[in-house]
């Protein structure tokens, strides 16, 4: 599939999307939103991907909304529609897509670009990358799920400082704080992401997305509600071919060959 603002590749059941507007640090315009939606649809639909990597071309991961598309006087753009149609839809898709999502943060991630990364199941960042809740620098509030993910990942005090001060948080500190999974040397980011994706693409795909659902719900659930949810999700998992294969492989003392069904 040919795109102008992103690159999309699929190999060995791993879909890789590279945001490709490096001159503006891969900030979002409407074409990039719509091409990203099309690529995600292909990955989870006809291409049957079992793991997804999102990364950025050039020295940035993503700098959020392309501000050159915005009128400083607030005219012409319906911001509610922009969020509903683009950013909120993207967050909902990434949190419900039936495959694990890895963000390979190759460079600075700012505004909605930082929060796009936080939507992922795994964030692997280059040591030189920074995470910036840049919204406050232009008089905005975190969107793209930032005000949801930040306090849950790093606690209220650190979330408030990141969102209200808008300072750069180096990748290494982000990993120490638990905002992201891993910080690696710059030239290792894609190798790490590809290695992880290859491993995840051989795991029981349905169970991986059920795990995401369980973890997401656990933050707000009571123990009773979570136990009920675990029961319901386990019932779904036990109906997969991968569960049958896992049990058979265990009994036959051989490695399981999960197919993602
Ligand atoms: O509008 C809606 O629909 C509501 C939704 C909003 C969601 C949002 O994301 S709001 C937040 C928008 N993003 C920002 O405010 C971040 C703006 N960028 C920056 O603060 C800095 O660029 C960074 C901290 C990300 C990186 O700084 P630095 O010094 O490494 O790079 P730079 O020199 O500032 O940027 C390099 C180029 O990218 C530069 O262009 P030039 O001078 O080389 O021609 C810069 O203008 C361009 N660029 C960076 N970010 C954006 C951008 N161009 C347009 N929009 C951007 N967001």
Three-class secondary structure assignment of 112-142? HHHHHHHCCCEEEEECCCEEECHHHHHCCCC
Each residue of 9-61: pLDDT tens digit?
Answer: 999 999 999 999 999 999 999 999 999 999 999 999 999 999 999 999 999 99
| Spacing, Cα 158 to ligand 1 middle (Å) | 23
- The pTM of this model reads 0.97
Which residue bears the tokens 């120490």? 176
Ligand 1 atom nearest 25 alpha carbon:
38
* Whether 213 contacts 236, CB under 8 Å: no
**Can you give the pLDDT at residue 168?**
98
Cα separation, 123 vs 180, in Å, equals 5
Q: What is the pLDDT of residue 70?
A: 86
Provide the β-strand partners of residue 170. Answer: 130
What single-letter DSSP state applies at residue 65? B
Alpha carbon distance 134, 141 (integer Å): 9
- CA angle, 174 as apex, 181 and 125 as ends, to 5°? 55
> What distance in Å separates the CA atoms of residue 187 and residue 206, rounded to the nearest whole number?
32
d(CA 214, CA 210): 6
Task: Find the length of the chain.
Answer: 261
Burial class (CB in 10 A: 0-12, 13-18, 19+), 253: exposed
CA 152 to chain centre: 15
CA distance 197 to 16: 10
Cα–Cα distance for residue pair 21/170, rounded to 1 Å: 23
Alpha-carbon distance 133 to 165, whole Å?
8
Q: What is the reported pLDDT for 95?
A: 97
Q: Which residues of the chain have pLDDT under 70?
A: 74
State the helix-helix crossing angle for 89-96 and 205-218, rounded to 10 degrees.
Answer: 120
Cα 28 to middle of ligand 1, angstroms? 10
Cα 258 to ligand 1 centre (Å): 42
d(CA 20, CA 204): 31
Instruction: Give me the pLDDT at residue 227, please.
Output: 98
Domain spanning 6-200, CATH class: alpha beta
> β-strands 101-105, 14-19: how paired?
unpaired
Ligand 1 pocket at CB < 6 A: 24-25, 27, 63-68, 70, 79, 82, 108, 110-112, 132, 134-135, 137-138, 140, 143
Phi, psi dihedral angles at 171 (to 5 degrees): -55, -40
**Residue at token pair 């991630």:** 109
Q: What is the pLDDT of residue 75?
A: 72
Q: For the chain, give the longest Cα–Cα distance.
A: 68
Q: What is the pLDDT of residues 189-207, one digit of tens each?
A: 999 999 999 999 999 999 9
Q: In this predicted structure, what is the pLDDT of residue 177?
A: 98
């Amino acid at each position: 599939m040919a795109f102008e603002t992103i690159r999309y590749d699929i190999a060995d059941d791993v879909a890789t999307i590279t945001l490709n507007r490096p001159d503006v640090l891969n900030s979002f315009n409407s074409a990039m939103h719509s091409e990203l939606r099309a690529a995600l649809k292909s990955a989870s639909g006809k291409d049957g991907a079992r793991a997804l990597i999102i990364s950025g071309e050039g020295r940035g991961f993503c700098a959020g909304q392309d501000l050159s598309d915005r009128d400083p006087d607030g005219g012409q753009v319906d911001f509610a529609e922009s969020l509903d149609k683009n950013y909120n839809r993207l967050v909902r898709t990434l949190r419900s897509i039936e495959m694990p999502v890895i963000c390979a943060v190759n460079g600075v991630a700012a505004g909605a670009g930082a929060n796009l990364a936080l939507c992922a199941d795994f964030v692997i960042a280059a040591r030189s990358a920074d995470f910036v809740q840049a919204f406050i620098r232009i008089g905005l509030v975190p969107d793209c799920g930032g005000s949801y993910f930040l306090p849950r990942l790093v606690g209220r005090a650190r979330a408030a400082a990141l969102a209200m001060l808008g300072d750069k948080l180096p990748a290494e500190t982000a990993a120490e704080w638990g905002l992201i999974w891993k910080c690696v040397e710059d030239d290792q980011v894609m190798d790490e992401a590809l290695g992880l994706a290859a491993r995840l693409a051989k795991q029981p795909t349905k169970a991986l997305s059920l795990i995401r659902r369980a973890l997401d719900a656990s933050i707000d659930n009571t123990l009773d509600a979570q136990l009920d949810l675990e029961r319901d999700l386990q019932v779904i998992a036990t109906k997969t071919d991968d569960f049958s294969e896992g049990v058979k492989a265990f009994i036959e003392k051989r490695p399981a060959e999960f197919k993602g069904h």
